[in-house]
Each structure stands twice: as structure tokens, then as C-alpha cells.
Structure 1
Amino acid sequence: MKKTLATFATLYLCVNQLSYAADCKQIDTVSPGKLTVAAYDYPPFTFASPDGAITGIDPSVVKRFAADNCLELVTQVMDPAATIQSVVAGKADLAIGSWNRTENRRKVLDLSAPLYIDHMGIYSKAGFEEIEATVDKRAGTVTGFFWVADLQKLFGTNLKLYPTPVALAQDLAADRLDVGFLGYNAGSYNQKNNGAYPGIAIKMAKPDERIQATVLPPQTAVLYTKGNESLGKALDESIAAQHADGSLARTISDVGFDPSITKVGEPRFVK
């Protein structure tokens, strides 16, 4: 009897394993059976610690994707620019960290279906909400944002470029700037939760045709190895499911953001 039960148990386990394997798509990854993710610390989009632990909005997306496709998650925590290079060099499968879907990025990488909208924010002591009210002011933004070129056309020599948001915030606090242009989501989160930007009003920029970021805000995506069709197809399917079942919206809401930013519209790339 014991032998019979053991045989049935073995058969049951084998059938379940075969069924589980059948549900798993064949996805090309850097290390077979593993999903290597390059990440950097950018709360609340990604909380990343040196030991490789990641949580936050983007990690929730890739963790669900890994689970959906029977992949073991392996994380690499590094500087922002290094995450992209890690994928380009074939050392990681994905890069996360609220990356915008841009024309330049898709020249060297492939980008997933959109996750959420990344609105442009206007940072000032005066509480500016409209671009028109700022055009004669001392303005600043950070190198790398896709709205830089539009701002340069509008502000000319009145626009100063900074290497980091911290440097911009210091000049804004010291009245060396009148207005700064940074991401709305990250700034509002850090002001509310970490005491960043004291005395500064952070407003979502109202639409202005001169600054395309205010008219068609950039969509964010997970970056992955260019040409990896099996990975991209499965990733997009998982993201679609997370939009459809509301799990992505709940994750957005849990960090204090308006879940409406998950209403991304048709996929697009910004210049």
C-alpha cells in the first residue's frame, strides 16, 4: 500500500511539473531559466539596496513577469547609466527605473509596452503652473530629460543645465534660480515622503504647444535587449495583464500617486 501511494505521489508530482513546464514560455535570457535585471535606486519607482533587493513600482512589474514565466529573478544594482549599458552589453536582460520611451533609446535597445505616464513638473517658490509665466525667469533643468531641447529654444541663455536634480534644487533654494523643470512624479513623492524641496511648490505643467512634454507626456517602459523577440513578446503580455487586472494601478496608488497615470494611451516614442 505504501509503495502504491508513493508511486501515485511520484506520478502526481511529475504530471504537475510537466504542466508547470508547459505553461512556461521559451524565453531567451542571458542565463537560461533566470531573468537578470539591472536597477538603480530611484524611489518610489525602484527602491534598490546594495545587496540586490529591489521593491517599488518597476520591480513589481518585472517580478510578476518573472513569476508568470517561470524565471528566477537575479538583480544587479548599479548607477543609472550603467543599467542601460549592462543591457546593451548583454550582461542583463532588463533595465528598470522609470525609463522614458524615446527615439534615441530604441536605437540601441528595445522598449516594453508603456507602464505609466511621466509628467513634467514646474518647481518654484512662486508656484508657477504655466510655461508662459516662466519664460522671462532664470530657469534650470537636468541634462538628459527629453524636454531640454524645447526649453532651450524657449529660454535661450536663461536656461541652465544641471547634472543632477540635487544641484538644481540647491540653486532653487538659494534663489539662484526662479524655476526648475523636473519630473513631477519623483519630485512630489520625495517632497512628501523625504522632506525634499522645502519651500518649493511642485506643480504639474499645464499643456503648452512649445514644450511637447506638456502636451504628450512621455510614457515609461522596461528596457530590454534589442532584437530579443521572445523576451519582448512575453514582457508585453505580462504588462497588458497587469494593466487589465488593475494590479499596476494598485501599485501606483500604494505609493501615493494618482492611478490615472497608468492610462497611457497608444504606445509612442518621444524625440
Structure 2
Amino acid sequence: MKNNLITAAALALLTFSTASQADEPLQIGISAEPYPPFTYTSADGDWTGFEVELGLAFCEAMGRECEIKPTGWSGIIPSLKAGRIDMIMNSMSITEARQRVIDFSDPYYFTPGAYVAARDMAFTPPEDLDGKVLGVQSATTNATYTRRALRDSGARVRLYDQAEQVNRDLLSGRLDVILADQIAMLELVERDAAEDFEIKGTAPHHPAYGDGVGIGLRQEDDALEADLNDAIAEVLENGTCTRLSNEYFDTDICT
């Protein structure tokens, strides 16, 4: 009888613990370095942007409360695996290398890499990269593409921790050209400070770019993955993703 009471108490405690965890807000990990228009801080200091709003829409579709948790990009996967965040939603492409250490939801958008350089520069990528200083954010699919596909291009590659560091060095003349996500580059060339710059071309489809952008998850979180896939399907089908995409990009990037 005593053993049965202990077992019943243990099961009750486990049930209470599991229910409590299910009630806790999910932590959406985004890069602490702004990546407009996907993620950035508004005038009042709150995080917003296409992926912030879309992530909250996914949470609403799941009936779950969520919180935005900025995390350094270089440590965002370790933070996920350590349980400090529950998912990564920061334009993370689904690649074979990343799938060795984390799982992904179904993709929700896809865009290629784009080359940006001065408007008056005669430049056609990749053949005109020889001798140029090319800036790329490290630990991104564009960095992987650069390493695999552009190693014989003759470009002098500079890697940066943050996307805005790459942008600033291009605008200040310390770089000749940059390679970054096309949607982010469409936003960059609309800035007043970038009026003398333009997109010169896009990278071709390459395995480095993976199968689109998905939500990064721990490999053991099968239930959350299933819930997120259902939420992604719902938000894509009901037009919320398209509405937000048109609002932020004037085009539909949703898969």
C-alpha cells in the first residue's frame, strides 16, 4: 500500500509539472542584433518586424502564450539546446548541417542571397568578383555559399558577426560588395543612406541555401514541432502571412 501511495504521488507530481510547463510562455529566440525588416526594435523599445509578428501569429494559432527573447546570433543554437529558448525564428534556413544538431518546422518563406554594390559600379556577379572586397555575415547560408561556391572567384572575403556591420562597411566604402538575404537587401537599398547602392544580382539555387526558412527546434520536441506545423499551415492558408509579407516587403515571400 505504501509503495502504491508513493507511486500515485510521483505520478501526480509529474502530471502537475508537465501541465505547468505547458502553461509557461514559449520563448521565441531571435537574434539580439536587429535584422530589419524581419526583427528590430520600435521607437518604444519593443521588438517588432515581420518574423516577430508572424511568430506571435503562430503562437495564437496554437493557443499558446509566447515571449520574444533576444539572443546573440552566434550562440542561438546552443541556447536552444540548453533550454534557454524554445524555438528559433530568425530567418534560419533549413540546411543539412543544421539538421544534424536541431530539428525544423515546415518552411514558411524562401528568398535567395543578393549582391549589393554601388550603383555606378560596373558589376555582374559572380564573374566580376575578382579583386573585390566582399562582405558576408558569418554563420549564415550566404557565408556557406561563399565558402563553397565563391572560393575561386578572386574575391577578398570579410566575415562579420552582425548584418548591420556588413551594411555599414558597404555604405562607408570599406567593402565593394556584400552578399545577404534578398529581402533584407531590398530594405537596405530603400534607406536614404543607401541611395547610391543597388542590388546587382542574386545567387543561384545552391544546396548551401537549404530548403527554405523554418523554425529551429530541439530534436526531442516532437509535440511542439507538430503543433507549429499545424499553425504554420493555418497562418499560410488564412492569409496572415501574406498580409504581413505585403506590409513589410510589398511582395509575398510566404511559401
TM-score bucket (shorter structure): 0.7 to 0.9
Q: Deviations over 1:159-189 (max 9, x none)?
A: 3333444444454345554322122211221
Residue 99 of structure 1, aligned match among 92, 100, 118? 92
Q: Are 2:42 and 1:42 aligned?
A: no
Quick check: 2:115–2:199 contact (8 Å CA) kept in 1? yes
Does the 8 Å contact 1:120/1:217 carry over to 2?
no
For residues 137 and 31 of structure 1, what CA distance do their matches in structure 2 show?
Answer: 52
Give the Cα–Cα distance (whole angstroms) in 2 for the partners of residues 203 and 218 of structure 1. Answer: 24
Tell me the equivalent position of 1:139.
134
Q: 124-133 or 141-150: which moved more?
A: 124-133
Partner residue in 2 for 1:235: 228
2:21 aligned residue: 31
- Scaled by the length of structure 1, the TM-score of the pair is 0.71
Quick one: structure 1 residues 129 and 188, their matched pair in 2 at CA, closer, same or farther if it must change by over 3 Å?
farther
SS of match in other structure, 2:229: helix
Residues in 1 aligned to 2:67 and 2:137: alpha-carbon distance in whole angstroms: 31
Residues 57 and 202 of structure 1, relative CA distance in 2, 3 Å threshold: same
Call closer, same or farther: CA 1:171–1:87 in 2, change over 3 Å. closer
Structure 2: any 5+ residue segments left out of the alignment?
1-17
**How many angstroms apart in 2 are the aligned matches of 1:70 and 1:161?**
40
Q: Which amino acid aligns with 1:199?
A: D
Q: Which stretches of structure 1, 4 residues or more, deviate above 6 A after TM superposition?
A: none
Other structure's SS at 1:99 match? coil
> 2:20 & 2:126 partners in 1: Cα distance?
45
Is the counterpart of residue 250 in structure 1 residue 243 in structure 2? yes
- Give how far 1:255 is off: 0.6
Residues 198 and 163 from structure 1, CA distance in 2 versus in 1: closer, same or farther, beyond 3 angstroms? farther
Match of 2:180? 182
Return the alpha-carbon distance in structure 1 between the equivalents of residues 225 and 29 of structure 2. Answer: 16
* Amino acid corresponding to residue 79 of structure 1 in structure 2: G
Residue among 188, 192, 195 paired with 1:195: 192
CA displacement at 1:158 relative to structure 2:
3.2
Judge conservation of contact 2:74–2:161 (CA < 8 Å) in 1.
Answer: no
1:259-270 map, 5 Å: 259=252, 261-263=253-255
Is 1:61–2:43 an aligned residue pair?
Answer: no
The alignment's TM-score, normalised by the length of structure 2, stands at 0.75
Contact kept in structure 1, 2:135 and 2:160, CA below 8 Å: yes
Unpaired segments of 5 or more residues in structure 1?
1-27, 264-271
Give the root-mean-square deviation of aligned CA atoms.
Answer: 3.1
Structure 1 residue 42, shift from structure 2 partner: 2.1
Over 3 Å counting, the alpha-carbon distance change for 1:170 and 1:70 in structure 2 is closer
Rounded to whole Å, the distance in 2 between the matches of 1:109 and 1:148 is 23
CA gap of 1:62–1:159, structure 2 versus 1, over 3 A, is closer
Letter of the 2:206 counterpart = Q
Matching of residue 212 in structure 1 with residue 206 in structure 2: yes
Aligned residue in 1 for 2:147: 149
| Alpha-carbon spacing, 1:69–1:175, altered in 2? closer, same or farther (3 Å) | closer
- The one-letter amino acid of 1:141's match is V
> Partner of 1:252: helix, strand, or coil?
helix
The alpha-carbon distance between structure 1 residues 170 and 63, as it changes in their structure 2 partners (threshold 3 A), is closer
